[in-house]
Amino acid sequence: CSFVHSPKGFPKLKNDTFLRAARGEETEHTPVWCMRQAGRYLPEFRETRAGQDFFATCRSPKLCCELTLQPLRRFPLDAAIIFSDILVVPQALGMEVVMVPGKGPTFTEPLKEVEDLLKLRQKVDVTAELGYVFQAITLTRHSLEGRVPLIGFSGAPWTLMSYMIEGGGSTTMAKAKSWLYRHPEASHRLLQLLADVITDYLVGQVAAGAQALQLFESHAGHLGPEQFQDFALPYIRDIAQAVKSRLKEEALPLVPMIIFAKDAHYALRDLAHAGYEVVGLDWTIRPQEARAQTGKDITLQGNLDPCALYAPKEKIGELVKKMLEGFGTQRYIANLGHGLYPDMSPEHVGAFVEAVHAHSRHINKH
């Protein structure tokens, strides 16, 4: 569909605070959004999703748009992130993933042997396989009416590879990691295939209207520094470089990119030089420490412990204030150190968002 490549006439952006912070420009308040802000903690989300197959929801641009907008109707967030899932990429490679209630995403036939790589599509037409995400982005970008920027995203190669081999969640990732030790060449082949698809996918998201991109390396913490160096970082770097050169070639906007590698503090210095404007942080690192390791030319994003939202509202305000003092209010995007949990109170999420705005304005004035 041709509109994917020339989505003209998007509404004018009214609140660009998030984009300014991402680019390192001065902001009046610290922008804030939440990972998994479109999620089960919202009753309206549960209602919209009721009785719907999870991946069928992901394939419906209309439902993705509705779910993306729900948190923005409740909270003065500074960014929207498209409702989707990182596992749509393995699906595009021809793998079957189903959402099993109480268990989560499950691959019907995970990769077991190196020969299984031959079953994957070696050439993926992302518009054919993932066009529904592009349509959801275009529709949502229009429906936002310029209120806030829209973030697109993808899982990173190692995280996707680990799901494809484990067949679902895992506490040790032992099956996936065993590939790295036993089959390093095949692992690199798979990671490269993923990196190529992810690059096309992210470029397609910008063509469809995404105004920023986040790469989720959610399983970074299962790797040690050496394996991260060999099997994760090179692809993270390549994706940033490839996406940027493609955006230039195709005369598309050069949007800010965020890398979120959970539990990879050992790699913060490298991640700060990996070609991303923003480095996302989980809650296990001190703000001052993260600043010291990433330097002055990077915007940081994060990193309140999601469980802090179980605290009373006043306490949430105190924790936010401390976090802002630690990071500083500039070159900073407030977020949680991971996604919201399904049993969290929407009121407490609201308290978090409002505390970021109020305290950062106060600090900026004084």
- Rounded Cα distance, 292 and 306, in Å: 23
Per-residue model confidence (pLDDT) at position 62: 98
Instruction: Output the six-digit token pair for 84.
Output: 């989707």
Per-residue model confidence (pLDDT) at position 78: 99
Which residue numbers are catalytic?
A: 36, 40, 49, 85, 163
- Rounded Cα distance, 310 and 272, in Å: 31
Q: What is the DSSP letter of 267?
A: G
Q: What percent of the chain has pLDDT over 70?
A: 98
pLDDT at 63 over 90: yes
Mean pLDDT of the region 83-88: 98
Confidence of residue 7 (pLDDT cuts 50, 70, 90): low
Per-residue model confidence (pLDDT) at position 114: 98
Confidence of residue 53 (pLDDT cuts 50, 70, 90): very high
Residue with tokens 């970082």: 233
pLDDT at 310 over 50: yes
Closest by CA to 149, choosing from 22, 337, 2, is 22
Count of all residues that appear for the chain in the document: 366
Find how far residue 213's CA is from the centre of its chain.
7
Q: What percent of the chain has pLDDT over 90?
A: 97
- Rounded Cα distance, 205 and 51, in Å: 28
Per-residue model confidence (pLDDT) at position 8: 63
What are the φ/ψ torsions at residue 19 (nearest 5 degrees)? -65, -40
pLDDT at 331 over 50: yes
**What is the overall mean pLDDT for the chain?**
97
Instruction: Output the six-digit token pair for 122.
Output: 């070696």
Q: How many CA atoms lie within 13 A of 319 on its CB side?
A: 24
pTM beyond 0.95, yes or no? yes
- Rounded Cα distance, 211 and 96, in Å: 30
Strands 104-107 and 97-100: antiparallel
pLDDT at 2 over 80: no
DSSP reduced 3-state for 78:
coil
Confidence of residue 101 (pLDDT cuts 50, 70, 90): confident
DSSP reduced 3-state for 252:
coil
Confidence of residue 252 (pLDDT cuts 50, 70, 90): very high
Mean pLDDT of the region 196-216: 98
Map out the domains of the chain as residue ranges.
Answer: 16-266+337-345
Classify domain 16-266+337-345 by CATH architecture. Alpha-Beta Barrel (3.20)
Instruction: Output the six-digit token pair for 286.
Output: 């001190």
Mean pLDDT of the region 162-191: 98
pLDDT at 1 over 90: no
Closest by CA to 78, choosing from 30, 117, 41, 42, is 30
pLDDT at 6 over 70: no
State the burial class of residue 186 (Cβ atoms within 10 Å of its Cβ: 0-12, 13-18, 19+): middle
Per-residue model confidence (pLDDT) at position 223: 98
Confidence of residue 264 (pLDDT cuts 50, 70, 90): very high
